[in-house]
Structure 1
Amino acid sequence: MRTNIDIDDELMSVALRLTGLKTKKETVELALKTLISLKQQERIKKFRGKLKWEGNLDDMRLSN
Protein backbone atom coordinates (compact mmCIF):
# COMPACT_ATOMS: atom_id res chain seq x y z
CA MET A 1 0.00 0.00 0.00
CA ARG A 2 1.39 3.35 -0.94
CA THR A 3 0.86 6.05 1.70
CA ASN A 4 2.22 9.55 2.06
CA ILE A 5 2.82 10.68 5.64
CA ASP A 6 4.56 13.63 7.24
CA ILE A 7 7.11 12.33 9.77
CA ASP A 8 9.18 14.51 12.07
CA ASP A 9 12.68 14.67 10.54
CA GLU A 10 14.41 14.41 13.91
CA LEU A 11 12.41 11.32 14.89
CA MET A 12 13.24 9.65 11.61
CA SER A 13 16.94 10.54 11.90
CA VAL A 14 17.15 9.11 15.40
CA ALA A 15 15.24 5.97 14.40
CA LEU A 16 17.49 5.39 11.39
CA ARG A 17 20.62 5.88 13.49
CA LEU A 18 19.50 3.66 16.36
CA THR A 19 18.23 0.82 14.20
CA GLY A 20 20.97 0.93 11.61
CA LEU A 21 18.37 0.55 8.89
CA LYS A 22 19.08 2.08 5.51
CA THR A 23 15.69 3.32 4.36
CA LYS A 24 12.76 5.22 5.79
CA LYS A 25 10.44 2.49 4.53
CA GLU A 26 12.32 -0.17 6.52
CA THR A 27 12.23 2.07 9.58
CA VAL A 28 8.50 2.74 9.36
CA GLU A 29 7.77 -0.96 8.79
CA LEU A 30 9.88 -1.93 11.82
CA ALA A 31 8.10 0.71 13.91
CA LEU A 32 4.69 -0.63 12.87
CA LYS A 33 5.69 -4.24 13.58
CA THR A 34 7.05 -3.22 16.98
CA LEU A 35 3.89 -1.27 17.83
CA ILE A 36 1.69 -4.21 16.83
CA SER A 37 3.76 -6.59 18.94
CA LEU A 38 3.62 -4.32 21.99
CA LYS A 39 -0.14 -3.86 21.70
CA GLN A 40 -0.66 -7.62 21.35
CA GLN A 41 1.46 -8.16 24.47
CA GLU A 42 -0.66 -5.61 26.36
CA ARG A 43 -3.82 -7.50 25.41
CA ILE A 44 -2.33 -10.81 26.55
CA LYS A 45 -1.15 -9.32 29.87
CA LYS A 46 -4.76 -8.40 30.71
CA PHE A 47 -5.44 -12.12 31.17
CA ARG A 48 -2.82 -12.46 33.92
CA GLY A 49 -4.43 -13.99 36.98
CA LYS A 50 -7.78 -14.40 35.23
CA LEU A 51 -7.35 -17.78 33.58
CA LYS A 52 -7.76 -21.00 35.52
CA TRP A 53 -4.96 -23.49 34.91
CA GLU A 54 -5.84 -27.16 34.68
CA GLY A 55 -3.10 -29.69 34.22
CA ASN A 56 0.23 -30.84 35.53
CA LEU A 57 3.29 -29.15 34.09
CA ASP A 58 5.64 -31.91 35.21
CA ASP A 59 3.56 -34.54 33.39
CA MET A 60 3.37 -32.35 30.30
CA ARG A 61 7.13 -31.86 30.26
CA LEU A 62 7.79 -35.58 30.59
CA SER A 63 5.30 -36.60 27.88
CA ASN A 64 7.52 -35.34 25.04
Structure 2
Amino acid sequence: MRTTLDIPDGLLAAAQRACGARTKTMTVVMALQQLVNAAKIEQLRDLRGKVRLDVDLKTLRGERVAGTWPARHR
Protein backbone atom coordinates (compact mmCIF):
# COMPACT_ATOMS: atom_id res chain seq x y z
CA MET A 1 0.00 0.00 0.00
CA ARG A 2 1.30 3.41 -0.89
CA THR A 3 1.04 6.01 1.89
CA THR A 4 2.39 9.53 2.27
CA LEU A 5 3.83 10.28 5.70
CA ASP A 6 5.51 13.33 7.18
CA ILE A 7 8.35 11.83 9.23
CA PRO A 8 11.16 14.02 10.58
CA ASP A 9 14.30 13.35 8.51
CA GLY A 10 16.54 12.98 11.55
CA LEU A 11 14.23 10.47 13.21
CA LEU A 12 13.92 8.35 10.09
CA ALA A 13 17.69 8.43 9.53
CA ALA A 14 18.37 7.46 13.15
CA ALA A 15 15.85 4.62 12.94
CA GLN A 16 17.39 3.42 9.69
CA ARG A 17 20.85 3.32 11.26
CA ALA A 18 19.54 1.65 14.42
CA CYS A 19 17.85 -1.22 12.60
CA GLY A 20 20.31 -1.50 9.73
CA ALA A 21 17.62 -1.16 7.08
CA ARG A 22 18.69 -0.38 3.53
CA THR A 23 15.59 1.59 2.58
CA LYS A 24 13.14 3.96 4.22
CA THR A 25 10.32 1.54 3.50
CA MET A 26 12.20 -1.29 5.18
CA THR A 27 12.85 0.98 8.16
CA VAL A 28 9.16 1.80 8.59
CA VAL A 29 8.09 -1.84 8.14
CA MET A 30 10.65 -3.04 10.68
CA ALA A 31 9.59 -0.37 13.18
CA LEU A 32 5.91 -1.22 12.77
CA GLN A 33 6.62 -4.94 13.16
CA GLN A 34 8.59 -4.24 16.32
CA LEU A 35 5.69 -2.20 17.70
CA VAL A 36 3.21 -5.00 16.97
CA ASN A 37 5.53 -7.60 18.53
CA ALA A 38 5.98 -5.47 21.66
CA ALA A 39 2.20 -5.13 22.02
CA LYS A 40 1.76 -8.92 21.72
CA ILE A 41 4.43 -9.52 24.35
CA GLU A 42 2.72 -7.04 26.66
CA GLN A 43 -0.60 -8.85 26.19
CA LEU A 44 1.08 -12.13 27.14
CA ARG A 45 2.66 -10.50 30.20
CA ASP A 46 -0.77 -9.29 31.28
CA LEU A 47 -1.89 -12.94 31.36
CA ARG A 48 0.88 -13.91 33.77
CA GLY A 49 -0.65 -15.51 36.83
CA LYS A 50 -4.13 -15.54 35.29
CA VAL A 51 -3.88 -18.77 33.30
CA ARG A 52 -3.81 -22.06 35.19
CA LEU A 53 -1.77 -24.73 33.47
CA ASP A 54 -2.23 -28.28 34.65
CA VAL A 55 0.69 -29.99 32.96
CA ASP A 56 3.19 -32.65 33.86
CA LEU A 57 6.74 -31.56 33.08
CA LYS A 58 7.99 -35.13 32.58
CA THR A 59 5.25 -35.82 30.05
CA LEU A 60 5.99 -32.59 28.21
CA ARG A 61 9.65 -33.48 28.01
CA GLY A 62 8.78 -36.97 26.80
CA GLU A 63 10.49 -38.66 29.72
CA ARG A 64 9.64 -42.07 31.02
CA VAL A 65 6.62 -41.86 33.33
CA ALA A 66 5.34 -44.75 35.51
CA GLY A 67 7.37 -47.37 33.64
CA THR A 68 6.07 -46.49 30.18
CA TRP A 69 7.77 -44.82 27.25
CA PRO A 70 6.12 -42.13 25.16
CA ALA A 71 4.87 -43.31 21.76
CA ARG A 72 7.93 -42.01 19.93
CA HIS A 73 10.18 -44.47 21.86
CA ARG A 74 8.12 -47.58 21.18
Q: Provide the aligned C-alpha RMSD in A.
A: 1.2
Secondary structure of 2:14 counterpart: helix
Name the counterpart of 1:31.
31
Moved beyond 4 Å, runs of 4+: none
Greater relative contact order (Cα < 8 A, sep 6+): 1
The structure in which a higher percent of residues are helix is 1
Give structure 2 stretches of 5+ with no counterpart: 63-69
Give the share of equivalent positions with the same residue, in percent: 36
* Distance of 1:16 and 1:54 partners within structure 2: 45
Amino acid at match of 1:47: L
SS in 1 for 2:6: coil
Larger mean Cα displacement after TM superposition, 50-59 or 28-37: 50-59
1:10-57 Cα shifts (integer Å, max 9, x gaps):
111111112221110000000010000000111111110011111201
Report the 3-state secondary structure (helix = DSSP H, G, I; strand = E; otherwise coil) of the residue aligned with 2:31.
helix
- Indicate the SS of the match to 1:32: helix
* Alignment match, 2:8: 8
Structure 2 length-normalised TM: 0.78
Larger Rg: 2
Count of residues in Structure 1 that have an aligned counterpart in Structure 2: 64
Report how far residue 60 of structure 1 moved.
Answer: 1.5
AA partner of residue 42 (structure 2): E
